[in-house]
Every structure is written in C-alpha cells, then in structure tokens.
Structure 1
Amino acid sequence: MTMLSFRADEEDVERIRRWSQRLGVERSELMRDALRRQLARLAAEHEVALYEADPVTEGELSLGAAADWGPAEDWSDWLDATR
C-alpha cells in the first residue's frame, strides 16, 4: 500500500473525525473507502460518456435475443456415456 498525503480544510478534517468515531473505524479507513467510492463514481461516469458517444448497435443488441433461447438441448444425460 502506498501512503498519500494531502492538505484538507479544517472543517472537512473535523467531519472525517466525527464520522470515523460514529462508525467505529480509523480515519484512514474512512478516507480509503471515500477515495474508492469516488474513483468508482468517476469510472462509471466515464463509462456512461463512452456509451453515449458510441451506443450499442442493433446488431449487437440482436445477440441478446439469442441468449434468451437458452440451451438447445440438455446433454447432461450423456455424462455417463463417457465413463
């Protein structure tokens, strides 16, 4: 794990302290979780932007219909034939 160091407003630091006490976790754990969530949110927003720039085509959507067919046949009874 790499240590990060940054400056924060006193008000934010106090809010972090209070929340860590309420939740019964260390401040660093609370900050790691907040960072992880923020990065996940940014990644999701980026994925949305990519999709909006290049949406799924009709051809790509047609593959979903094939998935609805389910298995063509149940071959599980042939398992004994291989032994």
Structure 2
Amino acid sequence: MPEAILIIAALALIIYCFRKYSTKQSGVRSEKFTSIDDRFNAERRARELEIDRLLNKMGKNGAADLSKKDRQSLEELSKK
C-alpha cells in the first residue's frame, strides 16, 4: 500500500512538471504559425481604427482642431 502512494505521488509530480512545460510551448507554437494574412489583417485593422479616431476627432471639433502630428498621421495613413 505505501508503494502505491509513492508511485501515485511520483506520477502526479511528473505530470505537474510536464504540464507547465507544455503550457509554455503551446504559446510559442500559436504565435509561430500566425499566417501572413493574419498579420496583414491585424495591421490593416489598426490603421482603420486610427483613421476612425482621427476622423471622429475632426468631425466633433473641426479640421482646425487636429494637431500637426494628427494631420501628418492622417495623411500617411490615407496613402496606405
């Protein structure tokens, strides 16, 4: 009976150690296999959100309220 408890405890420890290792690896794998399309779409969505933010700011307060930096950002983003 005491041997069975030791075997179960050893197995539990081994499983616990490998669980932590596999969790760390799974995060790397999901990032590693991100496709080019996924990255392109994420960048495109970020540009769209920034353009929307700037246009909302301009719509609420007028074009004169945009800072020089905001105007440059809007011009650069609209070219892409």
Tell whether the structures are fold-level matches, with TM greater than 0.5: no
Q: Which structure is higher in RCO with an 8 Å CA cutoff and minimum separation 6?
A: 2
TM-score band by shorter chain is 0.3 to 0.5
Q: TM-score, normalised by structure 1?
A: 0.34
Q: Which has the larger radius of gyration?
A: 2
Structure holding more helix per residue = 2
